[in-house]
A and B are shown apart, each in its own frame.
Chain A
């Protein structure tokens, strides 16, 4: 299989990951009081694949 098809196959995965990351970053920026320093969560969201944004949503966001 050649490169373009490969890219097309992986496109949904990349889009979902990027979407999740941007969505979480926007939420972090607008969050007045996250659970921990903001810059740390920013790094976690950007650098840790998939798990990073989810970790933020689960423990960083302070749902209450």
Chain B
């Protein structure tokens, strides 16, 4: 346990020194603010961009505040995921390449403490960023549109958090299993996008799937949620995350010998 806390402190220091603790929240907050603002000013933006003939009347229905929040997670689905993947692609692979790993691997290291400390720190930072971003989005939606039931918002954010933890687990497992950071990023981005594509195309045929977590998060706001399906999906995600963690620990032990000296 003491090894775990030492490694956790190392991760914390690393995340502060390479500024990840600052810029990941900044990305989430920026996109959280921009979505409601852009939606609010959409008529003016269309007006000033021009291209419409004189006297054209455009009726854009005002989106509901719930739709805005869902649109924010729509942004996070791509840009947020990209930020997380870029930030954490090198967590294990980069350490092997830079030689930091040799400093650790020559010691009697518990690989589960090693991998789990990385996972915990990455997840905490990702969740902090997500919550700050969503709260910013909530505040701006409140200012510009209307109130959203705060309890619903909390359920929505909590459900989406599960998805973010899943993404972090995928990136870290890929980083442990693959030889370099670039490949880890490519594989995790590819798998996340492919999963979303598959679910988008034929997802209508099943209602229980780890891929449906963002959809479930959104349905807390619409008020249409099937609780049984929801909890089964959450359980499935927990199993998948546990499997990814075991695979990550196993892969980081297996690849320890590939560390560059």
Which residue numbers of A lie inside 8 Å of B, CB to CB?
A: 6, 9-10, 12-13, 16-17, 20, 23, 27, 50, 53-54, 57-58, 61, 63-64
Contacts and interface: CB of A to CB of B under 8 A. Distances in A.
B95 to A, nearest CB: 8
B26 A16 contact: yes
B87 interface: yes
B207 interface: no
Contacts of B26: 16, 20
B37 interface: yes
Interface stretch (B28-36, B114-122, B158-166, B236-244): B28-36
B85 to A, nearest CB: 10
Contacts of A12: 33
B186 interface: no
Contacts of A64: 94, 97-100
Interface in B125-174: 140, 143-144
A20 B37 contact: no
A61 B86 CA distance: 13
Q: Closest 7 interchain pairs by CB?
A: A64-B98, A63-B18, A58-B86, A13-B33, A57-B23, A20-B26, A16-B30
A54 to B, nearest CB: 6
Contacts of A9: 37, 140, 143-144
B38 to A, nearest CB: 10
5 contacts: A12-B33, A23-B19, A23-B22, A54-B23, A64-B100
A50 to B, nearest CB: 6
Contacts of B27: 50, 54
